[in-house]
């Protein structure tokens, strides 16, 4: 989406006027004082029209009034445009799900009603081609579902009753089969609805950090109220009349209007950026907390490695024909539906194995499925040959029972594979060992760079896996994660989170299953996958529509960006004061104390033009910075001190110097008239 869409802008313009209502303004103490100042200027203008002489020309006062009004409008516009963008994003998601007919399942049969009439607990039925009316959980059936309306991902996904993939989202389309769905949310209370109301501001609460910053900004405002109020008796003592316009201008320029005006826009934009990344946040606080995360728990499968283990090598024992070995491996895996089994067949094909199993061989063959007792699987061919594959110790057992010596060569291979992070599958023919298949986890390309980036941010990554510690260690090292939990049970995750939290760290995790729910709730940032169970989604504080396990990394960056944008604009705003002082203070006193011309280091043309230039600069800097507030200041993982140095240089020193140039330039123009 473009930053300033035409439709958005016109809506935002309207809102910026509506938001002038003191009811809204009072929430932002900095801008509220500007509003009071603007009103005072309005009265001064009227007063001058009524014949008052001491306050300078009407035009000058009118311009000050208008510039202050603009300052307010700009600030409101920033907030309105951020809201409008967030709303537009959310609306486009919501559109898909409005007013879909739903087949309500009742005791008497099926009744077609509008989705808006569905209530929590209702059960409806979806056939192939139907749009799912509302968020819910499948209670019966299995179906392929097109979730592209929500995720943008065109590949259909499978959802089925029971288990961790039972959740369906309103607005998605059933492609095949039939499911019975129980509604899990009240209409208008789905995550998306919550998100929209957060963005719209109705239920938006200030985050703790925003509150702390508002306090600081209010303190700055108070300091300058004191400065300006006490200036009156000072000036009286020095016999220096100061116009009301000058007082108000000094005040408005000194208080941190730049950050005050952009503060809520920055917060909304943060949630909006999360939404753009297809993450629905339940509160603004969650986004902020994400920026503070110290520890990240990631599931190995799907996050660090691609799907499941794959066969990578065939190692026949010495003297056994390689092609024949591969052939036997394929035979033993033909009926093996596990991803590992399939990958053995695939690898054989890839190697161009000529030993395509003849149909005659398979005919009348008996397939032995994997059983927990034997921990092997295989095939009994019609010609009496028994092929088995399985874990090292299981096959070793079989072979030794049959009186064979387990070959040293194979034993060594098995160890090599294990210590390289692979899983060895030993293959036997009639109980005699004939070789080993190596299975390997495939680490996602580019994942170690992402972990490196996280490390630079100061975030510790932890891999959670069901693998044995040796394999887990190898993969952890190869992928570059800092720690791992091997042979993990759900409660291990929970315990790990609690342990880290007890040491004062903030933990984030992603999960989908119901058994993840307690850990999701315990974690400081819990991201539930949209495909996950309702329980998981309720427990977490974010929902990832893309079901992308690496999404946490983006969420962390969005959180950091949010804080950085606030911090840098605060610094910028405060640093601006130096130049503004040097513009306005001489202007206040020069008439009575000509010597103070020496303070006019910018050599501004006249007191009026100096004051006008300062307030105009103060006003236009707000819209100039709106794009930055909405996009966010870029986060670079270069270490905290280096980052502070960089941002201090750009926004601190920049904030010190830019207004000198800006006010001087404006003065060159304004000076022509005043």
Structure tokens at 12: 């935002």
Least distance from C-beta 522 to another protein, angstroms?
16
Q: 435 - beta bridge partners?
A: 316, 427
Burial of 199-216, coded b for 16+ CB within 10 Å and e otherwise, reads bebeebebbebbeebbee
Binds another protein (CB under 8 A): choice among 597, 601, 665, 668: 597
In the complex, least distance from residue 460 CB atom to another protein, rounded to whole angstroms: 7
Among 640, 661, 668, 669, which residue sits at the site for another protein (rule: CB under 8 A)? 640
Given candidates 17, 18, 226, 350, which one binds another protein under the rule CB under 8 A?
Answer: 226
Task: Give 214 or 465: the residue with its C-beta nearer to another protein.
Answer: 214
Of 93, 408, 99, 72, the closest CA to residue 252 belongs to 72
490 to 529, contacts with another protein by CB under 8 A? Answer: 503-505
Among 142, 161, 620, 643, binds another protein (CB under 8 A): 643
Question: Among residues 88, 125, 306, 596, which is the contact residue for another protein, using CB under 8 A?
Answer: 596
Between CA 423 and CA 439 the distance in angstroms is: 5
Q: Which of 13, 42, 334, 585 binds another protein (CB under 8 A)?
A: 585
**Residues 337-366 within binding reach of another protein (CB under 8 A):** none
List the one residue from 3, 110, 215, 601 that touches another protein (CB under 8 A).
215
If the CB atoms of residues 295 and 545 are measured against another protein, the closer one turns out to be: 295
* Structure tokens given for 272: 């909006």
User: Which has the closest alpha carbon to 200: 59, 108, 93, 90?
Assistant: 90
Name which of 259 and 331 has its Cβ closer to another protein: 259
Q: How many CA atoms lie within 13 A of 538 on its CB side?
A: 13
Secondary-structure percent of the chain, ordered helix, strand, coil, rounded to 5: 55, 15, 30
Q: Which of 78, 509, 588, 622 forms a contact with another protein (CB under 8 A)?
A: 588
Out of 110, 222, 382, 470, which residue is the one contacting another protein (CB under 8 A)? 222
CB of 70 to another protein, least distance (A): 25
Q: Give the list of residues 6+ apart from residue 317 with CB closer than 8 angstroms, or none.
A: 407, 409, 410, 433, 434, 435
- With contacts defined by CB under 8 A, name the span among 105-113, 127-135, 209-217, 400-408 that binds another protein: 209-217
Residues 315-334 touching another protein, rule: CB under 8 A, are none
**Burial category of 550 from C-beta neighbours within 10 Å (exposed 0-12, middle 13-18, buried 19 and up):** middle
DSSP states along 92-121: HHHHTTTT-EEEEEETTEEEEEEGGG--TT
Binding of another protein by 603 (CB under 8 A): no
Give me the least distance between CB of 58 and another protein, in Å please. Answer: 27
Q: Which of 32, 406, 617, 635 binds another protein (CB under 8 A)?
A: 635
* 598 DSSP 8-state letter: G
Name the minimum Å distance from CB 233 to another protein. Answer: 4
CB of 247 to another protein, least distance (A): 11
Q: What tokens does 617 get?
A: 């600069």
Cβ partners under 8 Å of residue 304, min gap 6: 298, 443, 444, 447, 463, 475, 479, 481
Residues 6+ positions from 355 with CB-CB distance below 8 Å:
323, 324, 326, 327, 330
Q: Scan residues 1-40 and list those touching another protein (CB under 8 A).
A: none
Among 627, 456, 488, 467, CA closest to 553: 456
Is 299 considered catalytic here?
yes
Residues 104-163 that bind another protein (CB under 8 A): none
Nearer to another protein (CB atom), residue 276 or residue 453? 453
Which of 352, 595, 603, 672 touches another protein by CB under 8 A?
595
Phi, psi of 120 (to 5 degrees): -60, 135
Which of positions 649-668 make contact with another protein (CB under 8 A)? 651-652
**Closest to another protein by CB, 59 or 230:** 230
Q: How far is the CB of 281 from another protein (least distance, A)?
A: 17
DSSP secondary structure string for all residues of 219-247:
HHHHHHHHHHHHHHHHHHHTT----HHHH
Angle at 519 between CA 518 and CA 520, to 5 degrees: 90
Number of other residues whose CB lies within 10 A of the CB of residue 164: 18
Q: Write down the least CB distance from residue 260 to another protein, Å.
A: 14
The structure tokens listed for 414 are 């098995």
User: Any residues with CB less than 8 A from the CB of 659 and at least 6 apart, and which?
Assistant: 576, 578, 579, 580, 617, 621
Q: Which of residues 361-420 bind another protein (CB under 8 A)?
A: none
Of the pair 420, 600, the CB lying nearest another protein is at 600
- Nearer Cβ to another protein (403/504): 504
Q: Are 460 and 295 in contact (CB under 8 A)?
A: yes
Residues in region 279-318 near another protein by CB under 8 A = 288, 291-292, 294
Q: Rounded to the nearest whole angstrom, what is the least distance from the CB of residue 412 to another protein in the complex?
A: 41
- Binding residue for another protein (CB under 8 A) from 356, 419, 468, 645? 645
Which listed residue (105, 124, 224, 660) binds another protein by CB under 8 A?
Answer: 224
220/314 with CB nearer another protein: 220
CB proximity list for 257: less than 8 A, separation 6 or greater: 30, 31, 34, 71, 75, 573, 618, 622
Contact window for another protein (CB under 8 A) among 41-49, 99-107, 543-551, 634-642 = 634-642
Alpha carbon distance 481, 530 (integer Å)? 25
What's 443's DSSP letter? B
250-279 residues near another protein, rule: CB under 8 A = 250
8 A C-beta contact, residue 288 and residue 415 = no
In whole angstroms, how close is the CB of 235 to another protein at the nearest point?
Answer: 8
Closer residue to another protein, CB minimum distance, 6 or 603: 603
Toward another protein, which CB reaches closer, 8 or 588? 588
Which residue, 315 or 582, has its beta carbon nearer to another protein?
582
Task: Work out which of 73, 218, 269, 271 binds another protein, going by CB under 8 A.
Answer: 218
CB of 557 to another protein, least distance (A): 9
Site for another protein in 523-582 (CB under 8 A): 559-564, 566-568, 570-571, 574-575, 577-578, 581
Nearer residue to another protein within complex by CB, 99 or 503: 503
Please count the residues of this chain forming the interface with another protein, following the rule CB under 8 A: 77
Q: Which of 299, 336, 512, 524 is catalytic?
A: 299
Among the listed residues 126, 128, 121, 123, the one whose alpha carbon sits nearest the alpha carbon of residue 107: 123
Instruction: Considering only residues 235 through 254, tell me which ones interact with another protein, judged by CB under 8 A.
Output: 235-238, 240, 250
Helices (H) and strands (E) in the chain, counts: 24, 22
Span between the terminal Cα atoms of the chain, in Å: 43
Residue identified by tokens 């995720």 is: 151
Residues 437-476 that bind another protein (CB under 8 A): 455-460
Cα 482 to its chain centre, rounded Å, is 22
Minimum separation from the CB atom of position 176 to another protein (A): 46
> Annotated catalytic sites, by residue?
299
């Amino acid at each position: 989406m473009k930053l300033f869409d035409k439709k958005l802008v016109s809506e935002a313009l309207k809102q910026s006027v509506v938001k002038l209502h003191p009811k809204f303004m009072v929430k932002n103490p900095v801008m509220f004082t500007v509003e009071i100042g603007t009103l005072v200027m309005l009265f001064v203008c009227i007063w001058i029209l009524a014949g008052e002489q001491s306050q300078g020309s009407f035009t000058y006062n009118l311009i000050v009034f208008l510039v202050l009004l603009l300052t307010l409008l700009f600030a409101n516009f920033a907030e309105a445009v951020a809201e409008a963008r967030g709303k537009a994003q959310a609306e486009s998601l919501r559109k898909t799900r409005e007013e879909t007919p739903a087949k309500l399942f009742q005791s008497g049969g099926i009744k077609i009603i509008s989705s808006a009439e569905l209530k929590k607990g209702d059960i409806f039925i979806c056939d192939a081609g139907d749009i799912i009316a509302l968020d819910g959980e499948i209670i019966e059936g299995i179906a392929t579902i097109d979730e592209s309306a929500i995720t943008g991902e065109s590949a259909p996904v499978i959802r089925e009753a029971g288990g961790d993939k039972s959740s369906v989202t309103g607005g998605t389309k059933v492609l095949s089969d039939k499911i019975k769905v129980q509604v899990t949310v009240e209409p208008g209370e789905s995550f998306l609805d919550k998100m929209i109301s957060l963005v719209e501001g109705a239920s938006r609460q200030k985050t703790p950090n925003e509150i702390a910053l508002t306090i600081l900004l209010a303190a700055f405002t108070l300091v300058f109220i004191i400065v300006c109020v006490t200036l009156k008796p000072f000036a009286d003592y020095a016999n220096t009349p100061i116009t009301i316009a000058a007082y108000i201008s000094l005040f408005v320029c000194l208080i941190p209007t730049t950050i005050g005006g952009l503060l809520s826009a920055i917060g909304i934009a943060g949630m909006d950026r999360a939404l753009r990344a297809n993450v629905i946040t339940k509160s603004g606080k969650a986004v902020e907390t994400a920026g503070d995360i110290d520890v990240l728990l990631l599931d190995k499968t799907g996050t660090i490695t691609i799907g499941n283990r794959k066969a990578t090598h065939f190692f026949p024992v010495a003297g056994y024909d390689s092609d024949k070995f591969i052939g036997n491996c394929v035979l033993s895996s033909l009926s093996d539906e596990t991803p590992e089994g399939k990958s053995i067949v695939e690898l054989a094909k890839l190697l161009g194995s000529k030993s395509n199993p003849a149909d005659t061989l398979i005919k009348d063959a008996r397939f032995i499925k994997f059983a927990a007792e034997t921990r092997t699987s295989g095939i009994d061919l019609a010609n009496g040959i028994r092929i088995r594959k399985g874990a090292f110790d299981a096959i070793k057992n079989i072979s030794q029972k049959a009186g064979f010596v387990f070959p040293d060569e194979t034993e060594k291979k098995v160890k090599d594979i294990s210590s390289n992070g692979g899983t060895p599958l030993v293959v036997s023919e009639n109980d005699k060992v004939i070789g080993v298949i190596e299975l390997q986890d495939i680490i996602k390309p580019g994942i170690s760079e992402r972990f490196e980036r996280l490390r630079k941010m100061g975030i510790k990554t932890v891999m959670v896996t069901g693998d044995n510690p040796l394999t887990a260690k190898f993969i952890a090292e190869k992928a570059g994660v800092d720690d791992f939990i091997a042979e993990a049970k759900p409660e291990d995750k929970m315990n790990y989170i609690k342990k880290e939290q007890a040491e004062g760290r903030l933990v984030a995790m992603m999960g989908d299953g119901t058994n993840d729910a307690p850990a999701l709730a315990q974690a400081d940032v819990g991201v539930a996958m949209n495909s996950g169970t309702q329980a998981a989604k309720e427990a977490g504080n974010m929902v990832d529509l893309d079901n992308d396990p690496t999404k946490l990394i983006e969420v962390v960056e969005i959180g950091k960006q949010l804080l950085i944008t606030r911090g840098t604009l605060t610094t910028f705003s405060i640093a601006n004061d130096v130049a503004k002082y040097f513009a306005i203070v001489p202007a206040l006193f020069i008439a009575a104390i000509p010597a103070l011309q020496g303070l006019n280091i910018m050599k501004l043309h006249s007191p009026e033009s100096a004051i006008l230039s300062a307030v105009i600069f103060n006003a236009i800097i707000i819209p100039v910075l709106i794009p930055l507030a909405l996009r966010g200041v870029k986060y670079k993982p270069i270490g905290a001190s280096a980052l502070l140095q960089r941002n201090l240089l750009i926004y601190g020193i920049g904030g010190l110097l830019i207004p000198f140039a800006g006010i001087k330039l404006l003065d060159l123009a304004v000076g022509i008239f005043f």
